[in-house]
Structure 1
Amino acid sequence: MHSDTHLLLHSLRAAELRWYATEFERASTAPDTDLRTRLGWALVELGLRILPHRAGHVSVAPGPA
C-alpha cells in the first residue's frame, strides 16, 4: 500500500475513534445515567488501564510427582 494512502486511512480511523470516544464520554456523563451504570463503566475503564501494566501470565507445567 502506498504510504500516502496508508497515512490517509490512519487519519480517518483516528478521527473515527476520537468521535467514538467523545460519544462515549457524553453518554457516560449524562445526568440521567444511573449510578450503577457509571460505576460499572468506571470499573471497566480501571481494569483496562491496569491490565496492560501487569506482567505476562507464566504457566508452569507440572513436573513429576
Structure 2
Amino acid sequence: MTTNPFEDENGTYLVLTNAEGQYSLWPEGIAVPDGWDVALSASSRAECLAHVEANWTDICPAGADA
C-alpha cells in the first residue's frame, strides 16, 4: 500500500511560501513547484506545522481585496 506523501505523519517536509504570502507543507524529495520558495528547510511535520502557525497570521492572499 502506498502512503500519500502529503499525509505522512512521519515524513519530512518543507514549508513553502508564494508571492501571495500563502504557506504550504511540501514533502521533501518532491520538486518545489514554480512560484513557491522554501521558507523552512526539511523538518518534521510537527515542526513545519508549528512554523506555519507562528508565521501565517493572515490566510487571505496578499492580492485579495479586503
User: Do the structures match in fold with TM over 0.5?
Assistant: no
Higher strand residue share: 2
User: Shorter-chain TM-score: which interval?
Assistant: under 0.3
- Highest Rg: 1 or 2? 1
Higher relative contact order (CA 8 A, sep 6+): 2
Higher helix residue share: 1
| TM-score, length basis structure 1 | 0.25
